[in-house]
């Protein structure tokens, strides 16, 4: 039975062999993933601080909205009228 020495088949076998990571590479990848997972453990306070520093306009808008709703509920339409009178309304 003749041996098939097809150059394309050899090339594809070589590519397939190169794609597969070695055991040493697998161990290194596992250590990197575990180290990054350990670093990403954050507390609620750190998450909130990161959110405030990344999106300060969202936090300011949210606080302003809550303040407007709360004061309108407490003082009624007088609060809204006083607020609008400062801006010429």
Q: How confident is the model at residue 61 (pLDDT cuts 50, 70, 90)?
A: very high
CA angle 55, 59, 60 (to 5 degrees): 115
- The 10s digit of each residue's pLDDT in 66-81 is 988 888 888 887 777 7
- The 10s digit of each residue's pLDDT in 2-52 is 566 677 777 777 777 667 778 888 899 889 888 887 776 778 898 899 999
Per-residue model confidence (pLDDT) at position 4: 63
**In b/e form, how buried is each residue of 53-69, taking b as 16+ CB within 10 angstroms?**
eeeeeeeeeeeeeeeee
Kind and range of the H or E run holding 65: helix 56-75
Per-residue model confidence (pLDDT) at position 1: 46
pTM: 0.46
Q: Report how far residue 27's alpha carbon sits from residue 25's, in angstroms, rounded to the nearest whole number.
A: 5
Domain boundaries, the chain: 45-86
Q: HSE of 63 in the Cβ direction (CA atoms, 13 Å)? A: 7
| Residue bearing tokens 């306009």 | 57
Per-residue model confidence (pLDDT) at position 10: 78
């Amino acid at each position: 039975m003749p041996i098939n020495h097809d150059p394309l088949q050899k090339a594809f076998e070589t590519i397939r062999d190169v794609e597969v990571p070695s055991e040493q590479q697998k161990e290194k990848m596992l250590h990197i993933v575990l180290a990054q997972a350990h670093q990403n453990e954050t507390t609620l306070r750190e998450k909130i601080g990161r959110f405030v520093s990344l999106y300060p306009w969202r936090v300011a808008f949210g606080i302003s909205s809550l303040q407007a709703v709360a004061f309108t509920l407490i003082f009624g339409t007088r609060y809204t009228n006083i607020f609008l009178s400062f801006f010429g309304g």
